[in-house]
Amino acid sequence: MKLLVRNLDRDYSAEQLRRLFESYGGVQSCSLVMDQKTGESKGFGFVEMPKAGEAKAAMKQLNGTVVSDQTIRVKKAE
C-alpha cells in the first residue's frame, strides 16, 4: 500500500521518514518530492509498505501526530 505523507518539515530526510514508518512494519520504498529548481524538499513524500495491515496501522497512528514541530497528515495515495 502506498501512503502519502504531507506537511513534513522541509529539512526532514527520506531516511528519517523510512525509520518513522519502519516502527510499524516493513517499508518497500520511501521518497520525498523535491523541488527541481532548488533541490529542496517540497514538504511531502510517499511511503510504500507491502503489507496492507501494517500500512493501515501506520496511517492510523501517525496521521495528525507532530514530527519535527509539524503536524503531519498520512493517507492512502491515489
* Residues 5-48: tens digit of each pLDDT: 999 999 999 999 999 999 999 999 999 999 999 999 999 999 99
Closest by CA to 39, choosing from 10, 67, 6, is: 10
DSSP state of 54: H
Is the full-model pTM beyond 0.85? yes
Distance of alpha carbon 46 from alpha carbon 50, whole angstroms: 13
Q: What is the pLDDT of residues 39-71, one digit of tens each?
A: 999 999 999 999 999 999 999 999 999 999 999
Alpha-carbon span 67 to 57, nearest angstrom: 17
Place of cell 501506520: 58
- Residue 60's pLDDT is 97
Q: Which residue has the cell 496521521?
A: 63
Distance of CA 16 to the CA centre of its chain: 9
Fold entry, domain 2-67: Alpha-Beta Plaits (3.30.70)
Query: What is the domain partition of the chain in residue ranges?
Result: 2-67
Indicate the average pLDDT of the chain.
Answer: 96
